Every structure is written in C-alpha cells, then in structure tokens.
Amino acid sequence: MHLYNSCNYLLNKTMGFDLEYNSERSTLIIPEYGRHVQKLVNHCVALEDDEERAKMAYAIIDVMGNLQPHLRDVPDFKHKLWDQLFIMSKFQLKVASPYPILTAEEVNAKPEKLDYPKSASKYKFYGNNIQTMIDVALSWEEGELKEALILSIANHMKKCYLNWNKDTVEDGVIFNHLAELSKKEIDLRGSDVELAQSSILLRKSNAGRMNNQHHKNNNNNNRNNGRKHNNNHKHRK
C-alpha cells in the first residue's frame, strides 16, 4: 500500500513530462533504473519547496527499492538506494537523508596505490614467499633459532632450484642468491655451513609427488567403485 501511494504521488507530480526523441536523450547515470526514474530525480531536484522535495525523494526511494528486489538482502540496502539517488541527482539534491550524504569527492576519489607484492622476480623458481621468509628471518634476534631458520630457508631454496633444474646445484650458488635477496644481511658465503645433499632433496620432492599422485589415484578408485556399486544395485532392482 505504501508503494502504491508513492507511485500515485509520483504520477501526479510528473503528468507534465513531454515526449522526446531518442536522439535528444541524455546518457543515463544509472541505466538500471531507466529513464523515467531519472526524470523523477531531475524533477525532484528542481522542486523549490523543501517539504515537497523531501516527500518526493522518499517516494523515489520506494520505487527504486521495488525495481531492485534482489538487493533487499544486502546489508544497508536503504543506504545504498540513498547513495544512488544522490549520484543520479549529480549531488544537487538538497534533502535530509537518514544516512551520511554521499559526496562527489568520495565517489571520484582514486584508490590508494597498491605496491607490487614482494617476490624474487629475478629468481622466480624460488616462489613468491621466499622474500617474506627472508624478511622474517631478518627480524629475529640473533641466536640458534634464527640460525636454524636461515638454514631451513637455504635448504628450501636449494630444493626449489632443483625442482626447476633437475640436475644439481652447488651450495655456493644458493648462498649467493640468499645474500642478494637479503641485501647481504644473510651471508653464508665462506662459512662452513653445508646444505642437504641434492639427491636427498630430490628424493623427498619425488616422494611428495608420488604420495600426492597415490592419494589422487585412491580418490579416483573410490569414486569409480562407488559408481560400480550403484550400477550393480540398479541392475539387481
């Protein structure tokens, strides 16, 4: 009944709209609501009486809500409608809104610039997380835990390198890359640190792949057995 009254009110207020050719029509600000709603908004902006303008604005909100029923479950549904009303009026509508009034500056504000994610772009075979791991290690206090973390990072880098180049790699190459990525704050060059042997790392990597493939095959077998059981059950019927 409330929507019916709103529609009747708007109809009575806009009986004087003239017909116009498509070539004379301006571009719609929010096409989803159609040209008639845009005309209602324009007419509302032009009203001089504050009370009449407010009454018509609320009636337009009722009509807009009825045109967008799928948005009723969206949080702050009414708030969204009022924001769209001010946008369609080109922010010229002077009416008290039950919500903070949206401004042109807020709509046209450019988003903050996003930094590119940190990644070992020069050594992509180490993955995107290696730089984060190095930064974490650099933030730790000196001690056995930090040394253990650095050794784990170096071994992880060696394993990644071997996955990329399935041959062998000298520890010195990994140490050089680690020093470069840490800006020489982690420098194992010239130390007596020894990384895991390439054959062990490759064996672990291959074992991980075989386990994943075995798990995938088991899932497929279970799925196929389930289908056979269902088919046999149907045939029995």
1, pLDDT greater than 70: no
128 and 61, same domain (yes or no):
no
Residue with tokens 């509302």: 44
139 and 173, same domain (yes or no):
yes
| Those residues with Cβ within 8 angstroms of residue 10's Cβ, 6 or more apart along the chain or in another chain | 40, 56, 59, 60, 63
99 and 117, same domain (yes or no):
no
31 and 48, same domain (yes or no):
yes
Whole-number average pLDDT of the chain: 80
Give the pLDDT score at 213.
47
95 and 9, same domain (yes or no):
yes
Q: Read off the pLDDT band of 208 (50, 70, 90).
A: very low
126 and 189, same domain (yes or no):
yes
> How far is residue 51 from each of residues 10, 48, 155, 193, measured CA to CA in Å?
15, 9, 74, 82
7 and 101, same domain (yes or no):
yes
- The angle at the Cα of 207, spanning 204 to 212, to the nearest 5 degrees, equals 130
Q: Which long-range contacts (CB under 8 A, 24 or more apart) does 136-144 make?
A: 137/182, 137/186, 138/182, 138/185, 138/186
> How far is residue 174 from each of residues 49, 181, 185, measured CA to CA in Å?
77, 11, 15
| Selected residue with higher pLDDT from 72 and 214 | 72
Average pLDDT over residues 67-72: 81
Whether the CA torsion 43, 49, 53, 59 is positive or negative: it is negative
> What share of the chain in percent tops pLDDT 90?
41
Domain count, the chain: 2
**Chain mean position to CA 129:** 19
90 and 118, same domain (yes or no):
no
172, pLDDT greater than 50: yes
24 and 86, same domain (yes or no):
yes
Containing structural domain, residue 180: 112-200
Average pLDDT over residues 149-155: 93
Give the pLDDT score at 47.
93
- Which residue among 108, 136, 158 closes a domain? 108
In a domain, 220, yes or no: no
**Pair 159, 205: CB distance under 8 Å:** yes
In a domain, 30, yes or no: yes
| Selected residue with higher pLDDT from 84 and 227 | 84
